[in-house]
Amino acid sequence: MCPLTDPTTTTASVEPAEQQSVRTVAKSRRSALIGALFLMATSAIGPGFITQTATFTAQMGSAFAFGILASILIDFAVQLNIWRMITVSGKRAPELANLAIPGSGFVLAFLVILGGLVFNIGNIAGAGLGLNVLTGLDAKIGGLISALFAIAIFLAKRAGAVVDRVVVIAGLLMIVLTVIVAFISQPPIGDALRQTVLPDEVNFATITTIVGGTVGGYITYAGAHRLLASGTAGVEHVKEVSRAAFNGILVTGIMRYVLFLAILGVVAGGVAIDTSGSAANPAAQAFQAAAGEFGLRVFGAIFWIAAITSIIGAAYTSVSFLPVFSKKFVGRRADFATIVFIVVSLAVYLLIGTAPATLMVFVGGFNGLILPIGLTIFMYIGWFRGDLMNGYRYPRWLLVIGTAATLLTWYMAVMAVGPIFSLLTV
pLDDT in tens, 231-251: 777 888 888 888 888 888 888
With respect to residue 23, please indicate whether it lies within any of the assigned structural domains.
no
- What pLDDT score does 44 carry? 72
**How much is the average pLDDT of 163-183?**
79
Q: Which long-range contacts (CB under 8 A, 24 or more apart) does 94-101 make?
A: 94/321, 94/324, 95/323, 95/324, 96/381, 96/388, 97/374, 97/377, 97/378, 97/381, 98/324, 99/385, 99/388, 100/377, 100/380, 100/381, 100/384, 100/385, 100/388, 101/377, 101/380
Residues 19-75: tens digit of each pLDDT: 555 555 556 666 666 766 677 766 677 777 787 788 888 888 889 899 888 888 888
How much of the chain, in percent, has pLDDT values that exceed 70? 81
Dihedral of the CA atoms 28, 29, 32, 36 (nearest 10)? -170
With respect to residue 52, please indicate whether it lies within any of the assigned structural domains.
yes
Burial of 385 (0-12, 13-18, 19+ CB in 10 A): middle
- What pLDDT score does 183 carry? 85
Q: How far is CA 393 from CA 77, 99, 232, 238, 387, in A?
A: 18, 18, 19, 11, 10
**Is the confidence at residue 98, as pLDDT, over 60?**
yes
With respect to residue 89, please indicate whether it lies within any of the assigned structural domains.
yes
Residues 326-361: tens digit of each pLDDT: 888 887 888 889 999 999 999 988 887 555 666 666
**How much is the average pLDDT of 248-255?**
82
Secondary structure of 247-286 in HEC code, one letter for each residue: HHHHHHHHHHHHHHHHHHHHHHCCCCCCCCCCCCCHHHHH
Q: Which residue did the predictor score with more confidence, 39 or 120?
A: 120
With respect to residue 9, please indicate whether it lies within any of the assigned structural domains.
no
User: Taking phi first (over 0 means left), then psi (-120 to 50 degrees means alpha), and beta for anything else, what does residue 392 get?
Assistant: beta
Residues sharing a CB contact under 8 Å with residue 123, sequence separation 6 or more, in sequence order = 46, 47, 48, 307, 310, 311, 314, 345
- What pLDDT score does 408 carry? 85
Q: Which residue did the predictor score with more confidence, 262 or 4?
A: 262
> Cβ atoms within 10 A of the Cβ of 134, count?
17
**Is the confidence at residue 16, as pLDDT, over 60?**
no
**Is the confidence at residue 302, as pLDDT, over 70?**
yes
**pLDDT category of residue 114 using cuts at 50, 70 and 90:** confident
**pLDDT category of residue 284 using cuts at 50, 70 and 90:** confident
- What pLDDT score does 341 carry? 93
Among 85, 3, 14, 75, smallest CA distance to 380 is for 85
With respect to residue 21, please indicate whether it lies within any of the assigned structural domains.
no
Separation between Cα atoms, residue 18 and residue 316, nearest integer Å: 34
CATH code (residue 264): 1.20.1740.10
3-state secondary structure of 55: helix
**How much is the average pLDDT of 190-195?**
91
Counted domains in the chain: 1
Residues 208-236: tens digit of each pLDDT: 777 766 677 777 888 888 888 777 778 88
- What pLDDT score does 401 carry? 94
Separation between Cα atoms, residue 131 and residue 143, nearest integer Å: 8
Cβ 194 vs Cβ 69: under 8 Å: no
**Is the confidence at residue 418, as pLDDT, over 90?**
no
Return mean pLDDT, the chain: 80
pTM: 0.78
State which residues form the domain around 375: 43-423
With respect to residue 359, please indicate whether it lies within any of the assigned structural domains.
yes
Separation between Cα atoms, residue 372 and residue 172, nearest integer Å: 30
With respect to residue 408, please indicate whether it lies within any of the assigned structural domains.
yes
Among 52, 6, 7, 9, smallest CA distance to 281 is for 52
**Is the confidence at residue 94, as pLDDT, over 90?**
yes
With respect to residue 385, please indicate whether it lies within any of the assigned structural domains.
yes
Residues sharing a CB contact under 8 Å with residue 140, sequence separation 6 or more, in sequence order = 128, 349, 350
